Amino acid sequence: MKRIIIVFCILIVAGLFRCQCDESSLGSLQSRLVILINNQEVTDSFHFGDITVTKEISADVQLKNVGETEIEIGSITIEQRGDVFNVDPMDKMSGFANNKIILATNSVLNFKIYYRPVNPAPPSDEGTLVISTNMKEQKDISIKLTGNGIKASIEINPVDIIDFGKVDLYSKATKDVVIKNTGTDVLTISSIKYTPSGNSTDIRLDTTQKLPVELNPNREVTFTLTYVPTDIGEDKGTLSIESSSKDLPEVDIPVKGEGVAPLIKIEPSAIDFGGVEVNQSLTKDFTVYNNGNKDLIIYKLDFAENSSKYLSVTDSNVEKTLSPQSSTKYSITYAPKDKEGSLISKLQIHCNDPQLIDRDVDNHYIAYVDIKSRTPFPKIDVPGAVTFQLGCKSPYDDKDPACTSGCSEDCCCLDYGAEPGTGLIIRNVGDAPLTVTRVELTEDGNGMLEIIPEKNTPYTLGNNEQTKVVIRFKARDFGQQRGKIVIESNDPNYPVSEVSIVATAYQK
């Protein structure tokens, strides 16, 4: 019995010793998990870098079991205050079963983590990738995740309105539009264009920049608008800018400017004095209006070359400034001292209206008033020649009984002027009385021509009044005879007029 008890005790001690040996052998097996992100081993942190706001980026994660025993992964989560980091759902990962993943020795688990920043840094975004395992050495493995959200931010100056203000007609004004990247990401300007309202092309976008333009943070670019107004009034349009800015991807800026200038209008623009007698005078008025939107300056008034020397501006102060939509009146007097006849003169108004064409030596613009003036004068109207023919059986003979009763074709005699529409007509086509002092036949065609005036000199013809001179032809021989009549009058331009006579007699 005693021997049995001793043997039993020996067996118990041996069993205990064996158990201790087994436990020591198991405890020597090592568990080790290596974490790779984008093929780089990480132990405590991973930085995603600078990522454009709202843009999502991913990173590849590999969990490698390089230990001597399998590893049980109970959860893979991300702890964060925001919602910018994310991880693939664990139930979608390879080997997921019974709410866990058993990672055998020398095996790999692949999944992705994600970063999508919402706001630009600072501050940087932070989170923690937490991997829960059954490893005794480190049950929860934490990897700190960081990233910086960046954003292209556009600053435009001016942005509310581009106002050129009042710009003189045909002059040039410019406005710069400065676009700056105030963000942390590259700003891309993809389009900039100006669209006019209506048909006006006075405002233009001038740029040598080729689009698209990329601006790094804190860099800027300048575009220039040019305004050259060609007419009076307001010009409008819109400057449209498209960029990669998240806040202002499209910006429309109103653009306006006003072309200003005086605009001269003269009423009446032409003055006709009619006929003014010598040593008499006549005054007429005209009005100058400023229909523009800028002051009209009248520097002086004078008459162009070849104008009547008897015209004058009767106002003592001709230099004036007219505000928009105002007017002034001037007077012109015509006082002829001699008979200068009919003239067309021009009054020159020197001013600052840039829409006029002509300029003077002082570079002032010139507007004109056409002026007709005349002193009444007689004007004789006679033909340069009178021609007629006579057919007879025999030449004129004073002793022929057929001629005793007077001048007739039977005796080869013709009174040219006896019939209507024939004869020499003397007419006054002027606007003053025509006084005829002499009507004389200076060449009588070898004694065959005579004249019989309707009036004896001197006589006076009123405006459009006329008289007739009968020419008697006594054809003593067949053939052509020539004569001349000289007329003297008070026509200032033609005091002496000559009329040639050609009379031809032929035998029937």
The CB-side HSE value for 91 (13 A sphere, CA atoms) comes to 2
Across the range 30-57, mean pLDDT stands at: 92
Residues 166 and 246 placed together within one structural domain of the fold: yes
User: 315 lies in a domain?
Assistant: yes
Q: Which one of 337, 352, 374 terminates a domain?
A: 374
Query: Are both 472 and 398 inside the same structural domain?
Result: yes
Give per-residue pLDDT as tens, 146-190. 999 898 889 999 989 999 999 999 999 999 999 999 999 999 999
Q: Evaluate whether residue 27 is within a structural domain.
A: no
User: Which of 219, 234, 260 is at the close of a domain?
Assistant: 260
The answer to whether residue 202 is domain-embedded is yes
How does DSSP classify residue 91?
A: G
Percent of the chain with pLDDT over 70: 94
- Interval 214-220 mean pLDDT: 94
How many CA within 13 A on the CB side of residue 375? 19
How many domains does the chain fold into?
4
- Claim to verify: residue 256 and residue 270 sit in the same structural domain: no
Domain that holds residue 126: 33-150
Residue 68 within any structural domain of the chain: yes
Cis peptide before 324 (omega within 30 of 0): no
Task: Residue 83: give its domain's CATH number.
Answer: 2.60.40.10
Residue 82 banded pLDDT, cuts 50, 70, 90: confident
**3-state secondary structure at position 248:** coil
10-14, 51-55, 367-371, 391-395: range with highest mean pLDDT:
367-371
Task: Render 119-167 in DSSP notation, one character per residue.
Answer: SPSSSPEEEEEEEEE--SS-SEEEEEEEEEEE---EEEES-S-EEEEEE
Residues near 206 by beta carbon (within 8 Å), at least 6 away in sequence: 174, 223, 224, 225, 226
Same domain for 390 and 492, yes or no, is: yes
Mean pLDDT, rounded, for 457-472: 95
My answer on whether 393 and 503 are in the same domain is yes
**In this structure, is residue 13 part of a structural domain?**
no
As to burial, measured by CB atoms within 10 angstroms (0-12 exposed, 13-18 middle, 19+ buried), residue 106 is: exposed
Residues 394 and 324 in one domain: no
pLDDT of 126:
94
Residue 23 predicted with pLDDT over 60:
no
Residue at 12 is within a domain: no
Average pLDDT taken over every residue of the chain: 89
Residue ending a domain, choose from 234, 260, 286? 260
Residues 477, 397 share a domain: yes
Residues 204 and 294 reside in one and the same domain: no
* Whole-angstrom distance, CA of residue 295 vs CA of residue 361: 22
**Same structural domain for residues 456 and 367?**
no
Residues 358 and 402 in one domain: no
Q: How confident is the model at residue 5 (pLDDT cuts 50, 70, 90)?
A: very low
Question: Are 466 and 349 in a shared domain?
Answer: no
pLDDT digits (tens, 9 = 90+) for 258-316: 999 999 999 999 999 988 888 899 999 999 999 999 999 999 999 999 899 999 998 87
Same domain, 250 and 290: no
Residue 411 placed within a domain: yes
Q: Is residue 250 assigned to a domain?
A: yes
Q: Spell out the residues 6+ positions from residue 282 whose beta carbon is closer than 8 angstroms to its own.
A: 273, 274, 276, 333, 334, 335
